[in-house]
């Protein structure tokens, strides 16, 4: 990694946002509702970072009232393709991971 270069994916929310946008463009409120536990500020920061990195495009729709829509770029879609197996693995194993955590917490 080059000196001063930040990681491409900095937090858990980035992958979840990319995953949601894989199904098509979404408005901020749709993303917020679909991401359990994310604060408005964290979602805003995550979207800005992904836009800066070229993973998504933010479009202001000229309707009343104005709406903002987010969609993956070609590069964002290619990242989704790369991480889709990890996302699928997480969905398939969430119950097992939660059970392992519970068992660990009992022992600790």
Residues 6+ away with beta carbon under 8 Å from 25? 59, 69, 70, 71
Residues 6+ away with beta carbon under 8 Å from 57? 51, 70, 71, 72, 73
What's the pTM? 0.80
Domain 12-81: assigned CATH number: 1.10.10.10
Region 37-57: what's the mean pLDDT? 96
What is the token pair recorded at 47? 């979207």
Residue 1 clears pLDDT 60, i.e. is over it = no
Region 23-28: what's the mean pLDDT? 96
């Amino acid at each position: 990694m080059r000196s001063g270069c930040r990681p491409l994916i900095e937090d858990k929310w980035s992958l979840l946002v990319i995953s949601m946008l894989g199904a098509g463009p979404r408005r901020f409120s749709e993303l917020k509702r679909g991401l359990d536990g994310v604060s408005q500020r964290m979602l805003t920061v995550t979207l800005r970072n992904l836009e800066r990195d070229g993973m998504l495009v933010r479009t202001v729709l000229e309707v009343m009232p104005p709406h903002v829509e987010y969609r993956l770029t070609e590069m964002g879609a290619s990242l989704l393709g790369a991480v889709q197996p990890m996302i699928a693995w997480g969905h398939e194993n969430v119950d097992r991971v939660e059970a392992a955590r519970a068992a660990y917490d009992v022992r600790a």
